Structure 1
């Protein structure tokens, strides 16, 4: 009897976990027999992509503010110093180089700030 009760509790906890996950969203999926089953929808990818997008946006904002603040000549001098360093500094110089989006946003920011 004790074993049957433990098995029942285990199944009940699994169902409760599944229903809690399904409350956050689910998708319908057809199994091999043609029966439509509801599966909990994984929302992890959405959070990860949002965090990655915000990190890229913050990095671009940093580059734009830095370029606008110190000017293009001094900015390029500092990037060229980074290009002479070790592997990590060269990777940083490649990331910090002026791309068309950064240049355009810097011009827009300069016009807005002045």
Structure 2
């Protein structure tokens, strides 16, 4: 009953208390954290491997199976990842 309750009086005078059902909500904070973590992972991989090696490995994935090609498309160095790498290189290294 932590989400609240409703009380109704039946025709015989008995008060019946029922808990309110909680509506299902999309966990927006969790989704945002997963997306940020994914971009941070890509930035870490790009920083640790270097741009040339990272591009070579993506090229190998692009010539693979359909699943590997999808992985290469997801892992390509996009502007967000490059901005994160530039920020870390400028401020932390």
TM category (shorter chain) comes to 0.7 to 0.9
Q: How many correspondences in the alignment?
A: 80
RMSD: 2.2
TM-score (normalizing by structure 2): 0.73
Q: Does 1:92 align with 2:92?
A: no
Report which of the two has the higher share of helix.
Answer: 1
Q: Tell me, what secondary structure is at the counterpart of 1:101?
A: helix
Structure of greater relative contact order (alpha carbons < 8 Å, 6+ residues apart):
2
- In structure 1, what is the Cα distance between the partners aligned to 2:47 and 2:90? 10
Partner of 2:8: none
Assess if the C-alpha contact under 8 Å between 1:68 and 1:109 holds in 2: no
Partner of 1:3: none
Gaps of 5+ in 2: 1-11
- The partner residue of 1:79 within 44, 52, 58 is 58
The structural deviation recorded for 1:70 is 1.3
Q: Does 1:50 align with 2:29?
A: yes
Runs of 4+ in 1 over 3 A off after TM superposition: none
Gaps of 5+ in 1: 1-7, 22-41
Aligned pairs (5 A) from 1:25-44: 42=23, 44=25
